[in-house]
């Protein structure tokens, strides 16, 4: 295996991870931002008020995006395994 092939595989792995994590992290971050904005406006400082909506958002987004995320990981794994003969 050459260094450029290893770097390309590592780059593909990192980009796949970023693409797969982006929907869950983005939605959770957006909900956290809006809840924090609501807390600033209403001056309600309750820790569970931020935790519960973010947790529910993460769970719901995992349910919605879970099959797509799994499909992306399986595609990457199949692609990685299909390139093993060319590495030898």
In this prediction the pTM is 0.78
Contact indicator for 32, 54 with CB cutoff of 8 Å:
yes
Read off the pLDDT of each residue in 68-81 and give the average, rounded to a whole number: 94
For residue 38, count other CB atoms closer than 10 A to its CB.
Answer: 13
Contact indicator for 12, 76 with CB cutoff of 8 Å:
yes
Q: What is the pLDDT of residue 77?
A: 94
Residues 13-62: tens digit of each pLDDT: 999 999 999 999 999 999 999 999 999 898 888 877 889 999 999 999 99
């Amino acid at each position: 295996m050459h260094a450029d092939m290893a770097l390309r595989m590592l780059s593909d792995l990192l980009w796949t991870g970023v693409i797969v994590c982006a929907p869950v992290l983005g939605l959770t971050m957006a909900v956290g931002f809006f809840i924090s904005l609501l807390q600033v406006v209403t001056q309600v400082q309750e820790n569970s008020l931020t935790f519960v909506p973010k947790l529910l958002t993460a769970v719901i987004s995992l349910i919605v995006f879970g099959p797509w995320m799994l499909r992306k990981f399986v595609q990457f794994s199949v692609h990685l395994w299909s390139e093993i003969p060319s590495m030898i």
